[in-house]
Amino acid sequence: MSFRIPLWEEIMEFRQLRYFLAVAEELHFGRAATRLDMAQPPLSRQIAALEEDLGAQLFDRSRSQIRLTQAGLVLREHARQLIERVDAARRETRLVGAGGAGRLRVAFVGSASHGLLPMLIKDYRSAYPDVELALSAMNNAELQRALVTREIDIAVARPELKDDEFRRELLCRERLMLAIPDNSPLAAQCEVRFADLSGQNFVLYPRRPRPGYADLVLSICEQEGVKPGNLELTQDFQSAISLVSVGVGLSVVPESVSSTTRPGVVYRHYQGHNPGTALTVHARLDNRAPQVVNFLETTRKFVRAGQSGAA
């Protein structure tokens, strides 16, 4: 037993639809052939073959003019819709394939919401306005897991994620500062000696995993001979700043955080060991999606522009 492809699927190639639509809109075989950049006889043969395969006359022909039949009018409307949809699909597919549309999932540590990251996101949105950005905040452990499991495309970590399967772009390096309750005597000082902070309550983050950013601060305490009066560990940056604002203790934060005011909190530079911190943009080595490649390239351009501006 043999199976025959349905007649409509067999004959209705988009090339034929374009030929028909050109004639239907020009109502003149010569003009339609010129529009299609082809000779008139092959075009006439294509239309005649289409009419034969459909079993319907599409044009009333006379010496002076041609007109669409009722069947031709019906096909014209369908042809326009089909060709518009195919052209739109082609444009959108090409755009997504080039990274100019589609979706990009970016996650970042909470403290990155201050400083350069918002400006980098703005630059990327400006360059690729049709890409849907899905933004979320995570700690480093969550970033690592989400990038490994492909739940996100880009991870912005502090200072970086350790994994040979990740590529990375350094976004910035910055110094550390003190975040102090505004009712603390330390708030009246323009600059504070870190070595004088023994007995002060410290609010650090994250609670886990360890080691983490909290251990960086504790290493500064150890080097400066500082013994915190009480150590309050919270899960993320926002929680830590909230506790500082209500007087639970002081914290050590990236300098960029001080650009955003928070009621109940003042920021002070300190004298003493300051290893600084960094923000690094990561992506999987095997993720070659154009949206990811474009984001990393935008990061490189953003950093170069910042460096030249600083110079």
| pLDDT tens for the 311 residues of the chain, in order | 444 444 444 445 778 888 989 998 998 888 999 999 999 999 999 888 888 888 899 998 876 678 999 998 999 998 888 888 887 777 777 777 777 788 999 999 988 988 899 999 999 999 999 999 999 999 888 999 999 999 999 999 999 999 999 999 999 999 999 999 999 999 999 889 999 999 999 999 888 777 788 999 999 999 999 999 999 999 888 899 999 999 999 999 999 988 888 899 999 999 999 999 999 999 999 999 999 999 999 999 999 987 533 33
pLDDT of 3 reads 43
C-alpha–C-alpha distance, residues 144 and 121, integer Å: 20
Q: Are 188 and 219 in contact (CB under 8 A)?
A: no
pLDDT of 292 reads 95
pLDDT of 16 reads 85
Helix or strand or coil: residue 289? coil
C-alpha–C-alpha distance, residues 38 and 180, integer Å: 78
| Number of CB atoms found within 10 A of residue 145's CB | 13
Place of tokens 């394939």: 97
Which H or E run contains 268? strand 265-271
pLDDT of 62 reads 74
Q: Are 140 and 277 in contact (CB under 8 A)?
A: no
pLDDT of 11 reads 41
C-alpha–C-alpha distance, residues 306 and 156, integer Å: 18
Q: Are 68 and 58 in contact (CB under 8 A)?
A: yes
Nearest to 205 by CA among 241, 227, 236: 236
pLDDT of 131 reads 93
